[in-house]
């Protein structure tokens, strides 16, 4: 057993210290993926061994103790080894990975040491007890780091947080669609699996750039597709489907949350747009008002409805779901205008106590008996928008609803004279009246004066200010290509004109190239920039994407200085794997230099005529990631006789601010045949005085050459 421990731990130590650039064949990767399968084995075995060695009643049974210690030490070494191999696949947060990795190495070595010197520990009580404590702490520490790495830093405390925090409310007049409505949903329901530390499916959903990029299955949305693309496909799958999102066992999205995400995507998934800029009849206005309260955890004074009743009442035209997982309150929404009838409301009688949200938007209630609505004593949210109702019967139907807080009468013929009964509804907080019979601003003001405890929403007042178009979506299967690649532009606004440039200039409506619907063929490295134009609209912001054409691939590559241990990627091979990184500098596609320059040697066995070198880099000013102070290209026929081919000093930022973005450093020089090329990119030796880290060294991040 000891020989096995020696072999396993020797290999473990070697790879831990010298395996940074290790190449892992497919069968080795499969071995690494066994790590989650075997990691619980050594924990159990070592705990049994610790108890056995310290339990007086059985401590004398040395052969059995030898078995537990030996098999536990071997299993620990093998588990640490598979974990080390798994880490080479990347996709793990470098801020947590070293702690887990070295905790595993320490635990493996310490358990082997105990086994090797077991006779000593059996005759010395204090060292034995101290070793048991150290081993237990090592197991707990390593396990905690591993759990954090795969589930996120707040995984353990998440249940407590859910009980003590509420979704913050926001002012619809100033709210931003993404920041105030969409992002809180993603944080609560998606980021647990799709974050920088745990990129399930190679997808992180923490930042706008990560959302735009998508994951290994592709981009998340397509506003031109009938189903709006991958994200909505996964959300609408059956809960029994293994690809349903969120997965089984995770808090599901509520119907309101699904509608918010869907309508946001239909708008083109804008990240800067304000709610107030939308037309007054847009569904997101009502959803914005309902969502803040519907997602907050509340204490209810009624019991759970019968599960069979809920299941029976769910059908193709009616959705009955919990407002929040684990709570008795229910939300009910109706679909299918042509098949709707009042009996469908009457059928909700078995769950009338639990219904707190009722959405009848666009259902044909005109001429129907709306007094059926009075059967829901705990109703708090009622949407009657575009239902065709008038003032007749409104008081009889709504006055009994003493718990009602929000009411939508938008796009109905209800007049201000029909609303006198609101005085008898002390809990009512908001009434939505846009495009209703209450059209005059004077009438709205009179209602606000008459009912000061109620907020009357008359919707967005169009003052003729043009709305800004959303930027085009740039679709391409690859950023790095050998011969050519095809690119497609999309915009969800019908009639929008898409123009682009490939020379780095800002597209305008007159001189930029016009996208005609056919894909764009790129056959050289370029920065593609695109904008949307449409008469009557403000032209969009510029969206851009860098493309790289592979020219000469070196036969061998080596680095004079190793990358910083935190951001080493796979070393030199990362720079020529034809895969660019994203704006998350923690992903394994980046190699970074700080203490030493990035000095990269390339060798071409056959003479190659070269006239251009491009370095793909990253700019994140707040994280000290700056352009290099200078970049040099040296080349020649012999390694010891190189000449300087080109040198540039990239322009440095002059202030904080600006989003994290990809950048490129292009060096051109007269073409010449070369065997050897040396690239030197020097980090800033001192950050400027305006930077919070003034005087400190800057970082240089590279992902491809």
Residue 20: pLDDT band with limits 50, 70, 90:
low
Q: What pLDDT band is residue 462 in, cutting at 50, 70 and 90?
A: low
In tens, the pLDDT along 286-318 reads 677 655 544 444 568 899 999 899 989 988 778
CA neighbor of 593 nearest in space, from 634, 570, 625: 625
> Can you tell me which residue has the tokens 């009179």?
446
Q: Which comes out higher in pLDDT, residue 359 or 584?
A: 359
Per-residue confidence (pLDDT) for residue 280, from 0 to 100 = 60
Which of 29-33, 181-185, 295-299, 642-646 is predicted most confidently? 642-646
What's the confidence (pLDDT) of residue 377? 92
**Is it the case that residue 4 has pLDDT exceeding 90?**
no
Highest-scoring range by mean pLDDT, 24-28, 360-364, 525-529: 525-529
Per-residue pLDDT for 168 more than 80?
no
* pLDDT in the model for residue 198: 66
- From 6, 82, 9, 85, select the one nearest 40 (Cα to Cα): 82
Question: Over 80: is that where the pLDDT of 602 sits?
Answer: yes
Residues 335, 283, 365, 382: is their CA dihedral positive or negative? positive
Q: What is the dihedral of CA 78, 79, 83, 84, to 10 degrees?
A: -30
Average pLDDT taken over every residue of the chain: 83
321 CA to centre of own chain: 26
Q: What is the pLDDT of residues 400-427, one digit of tens each?
A: 999 999 898 988 889 989 999 898 888 8
Contact status, residue 390 vs residue 365, Cβ threshold 8 Å: no
- Mean pLDDT over 13-36 rounds to 70
pLDDT of residue 64: 76
pLDDT for residue 226: 64
Q: What are the tens digits of pLDDT across the range 190-242?
A: 877 787 666 777 788 888 888 888 887 778 887 766 677 888 888 887 777 77
Residue recorded with tokens 């540039």: 648
Give the pLDDT of residue 325.
Answer: 66
Mean pLDDT, residues 145-171: 56
Note the pLDDT of residue 110.
82
Position 673 scores a pLDDT of 94
Q: What is the pLDDT of residues 551-579, one digit of tens each?
A: 889 999 999 999 998 888 888 898 998 88
pLDDT at 69 over 70: yes
Q: Tell me, what's the pLDDT at 166?
A: 43
What pLDDT is stored for residue 163 in this prediction?
44
pLDDT digits (tens, 9 = 90+) for 630-666: 999 999 999 999 999 999 999 999 887 766 788 899 9
Q: What is the pLDDT of residues 621-634, one digit of tens each?
A: 888 999 999 999 99
* pLDDT of the residue at 433: 86
- What is the pLDDT, as a whole number, of residue 89? 60
pLDDT at 294: 44
pLDDT in tens, 232-245: 888 887 777 778 88
Q: What pLDDT shows up at residue 167?
A: 46
Please check the confidence at residue 499 and state whether its pLDDT lies above 70: yes
What DSSP line would sit under 449-469, residue for residue?
A: HH-TTSEEE------SPPPBP
Q: How far is CA 471 from CA 284, 423, 466, 541, 705, in A?
A: 20, 47, 15, 6, 29
Determine contact, residues 295/257, Cβ cutoff 8 Å.
Answer: yes
Of 602, 577, 607, residue with least CA distance to 591: 577
pLDDT at 126 over 60: yes
For the cut 50, the answer to whether the pLDDT of residue 7 exceeds it is: yes
pLDDT band for position 47 (cuts 50, 70, 90) = confident
pLDDT in tens, 266-289: 888 888 888 877 766 577 876 776
Average pLDDT of the segment spanning 357-368: 86
pLDDT at 164: 40
**DSSP character at residue 480:** E
* In 175-226, beta strands by DSSP E: none
- Predicted local confidence at residue 357, as pLDDT: 92
* 39 Cβ neighbours under 8 A, 6+ residues apart: 79, 83, 146
Provide the percentage of residues in the chain whose pLDDT is more than 70: 88
Please tell me the predicted confidence (pLDDT) of residue 460.
Answer: 52
- Separation of alpha carbons 256 and 391, rounded Å: 27
pLDDT, position 667: 93
Per-residue model confidence (pLDDT) at position 21: 59
**What mean pLDDT do residues 676-684 have?**
96
Helices (H), 55-169: 62-87, 97-116, 118-123, 125-151, 158-164
Confidence of residue 95 (pLDDT cuts 50, 70, 90): low
- pLDDT for the residue 601: 96
Provide the pLDDT for residue 371. 85
Closest-CA residue to 50 (of 120, 111, 117): 111
**What would the mean pLDDT of 436-440 be, rounded to a whole number?**
81
* Residue 276: closest CA among 410, 174, 411, 409: 174
CA–CA separation, 95 and 547 (whole Å): 30
Lowest mean pLDDT among 17-26, 538-547, 605-614: 17-26
Percent of the chain with pLDDT strictly greater than 90: 27
- Cβ atoms 251, 325 nearer than 8 A: yes
Q: Provide mean pLDDT across the span 653-680.
A: 89
Question: Between these two residues, 17 and 593, which has the higher pLDDT value?
Answer: 593
């Amino acid at each position: 057993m000891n020989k096995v421990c020696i072999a396993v731990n020797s290999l473990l130590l070697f790879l831990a210290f010298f395996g940074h650039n290790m190449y892992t064949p497919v069968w080795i990767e499969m071995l690494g993926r066994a790590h989650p399968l075997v990691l619980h084995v050594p924990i159990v075995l070592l705990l049994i061994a610790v108890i056995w060695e310290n339990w007086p009643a059985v401590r004398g049974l040395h052969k059995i103790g030898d078995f537990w210690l030996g098999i536990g030490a071997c299993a620990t070494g093998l588990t640490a080894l598979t974990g080390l191999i798994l880490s080479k696949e990347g996709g793990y947060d470098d801020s947590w990975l070293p702690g887990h990795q070295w905790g595993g190495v320490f635990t493996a070595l310490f358990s082997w040491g105990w086994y090797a010197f077991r006779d000593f520990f059996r005759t010395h009580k204090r060292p034995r007890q101290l070793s048991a404590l150290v081993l237990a702490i090592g197991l707990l520490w390593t396990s905690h780091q591993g759990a954090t790495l795969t589930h996120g830093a707040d995984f353990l405390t998440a249940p407590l947080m859910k009980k003590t925090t509420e979704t913050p409310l926001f002012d619809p007049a100033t709210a931003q669609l993404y920041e105030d409505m969409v992002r809180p949903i993603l944080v609560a329901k998606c980021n647990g699996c799709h974050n920088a530390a745990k990129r399930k499916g190679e997808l992180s959903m923490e930042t706008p750039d990560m959302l735009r990029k998508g994951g290994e299955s592709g981009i998340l949305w397509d506003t031109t597709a009938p189903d709006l693309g991958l994200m909505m496909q996964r959300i609408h799958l059956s809960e029994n489907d293994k690809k349903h999102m969120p997965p089984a066992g995770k808090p599901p999205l509520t119907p309101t949350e699904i509608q918010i995400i869907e309508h946001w995507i239909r708008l083109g998934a804008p990240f800067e747009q304000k709610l107030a800029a939308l037309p007054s009849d847009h569904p997101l206005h009502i959803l914005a008002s309902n969502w803040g309260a519907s997602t907050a955890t509340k204490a209810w004074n009624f019991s759970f409805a019968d599960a069979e009743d809920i299941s029976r009442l769910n059908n193709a035209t009616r959705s009955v779901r919990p407002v929040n997982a684990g709570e008795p309150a229910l939300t009910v929404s109706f679909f299918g205008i042509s098949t709707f009838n009042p009996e469908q409301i009457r059928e909700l009688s078995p769950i009338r106590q639990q219904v707190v949200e009722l959405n009848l938007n666009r259902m044909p209630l005109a001429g129907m008996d709306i007094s059926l609505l009075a059967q829901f004593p705990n109703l708090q949210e009622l949407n009657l928008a575009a239902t065709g109702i008038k003032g007749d019967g409104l008081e009889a139907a709504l006055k009994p609803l003493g718990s009602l807080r929000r009411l939508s009468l938008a796009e109905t013929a209800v007049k201000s004279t029909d609303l006198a009964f609101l005085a008898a509804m002390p809990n009512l907080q908001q009434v939505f009246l846009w495009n209703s019979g209450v059209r005059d601003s004077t009438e709205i003001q009179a209602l606000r004066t008459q009912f000061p405890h109620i907020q009357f929403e008359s919707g967005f007042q169009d003052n003729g200010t043009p709305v800004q178009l959303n930027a085009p979506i740039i679709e391409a299967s690859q950023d790095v290509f050998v011969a050519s690649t095809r690119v497609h532009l999309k915009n969800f606004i019908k009639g929008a004109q898409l123009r682009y440039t490939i020379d780095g200039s800002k597209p305008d409506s007159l001189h930029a190239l016009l996208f005609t619907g056919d894909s764009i063929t790129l056959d050289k490295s370029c920065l593609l920039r695109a904008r949307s134009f449409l008469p009557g609209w403000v032209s969009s912001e510029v969206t851009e994407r860098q493309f790289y054409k592979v020219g000469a691939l070196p036969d061998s590559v080596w680095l004079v200085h190793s990358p910083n241990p935190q951001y080493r990627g796979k070393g030199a091979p990362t720079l020529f794997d034809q895969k660019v990184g994203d704006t998350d500098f923690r992903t394994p596609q980046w190699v970074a230099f700080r203490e030493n320059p990035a000095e990269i040697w390339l060798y071409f066995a056959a003479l190659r005529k070269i006239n251009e070198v491009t370095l793909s880099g990253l700019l994140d000013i707040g994280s000290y990631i700056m352009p290099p102070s200078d970049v040099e290209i040296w080349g020649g026929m012999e390694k010891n006789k190189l000449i300087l081919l080109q040198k540039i000093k990239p322009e440095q930022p002059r202030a904080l601010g600006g989003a994290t973005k990809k950048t490129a450093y292009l060096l051109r020089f007269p073409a010449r045949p070369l065997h050897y090329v040396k690239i030197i990119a020097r980090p800033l030796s001192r950050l400027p005085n305006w930077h919070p880290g003034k005087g400190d060294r800057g970082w240089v991040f590279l992902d491809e050459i």
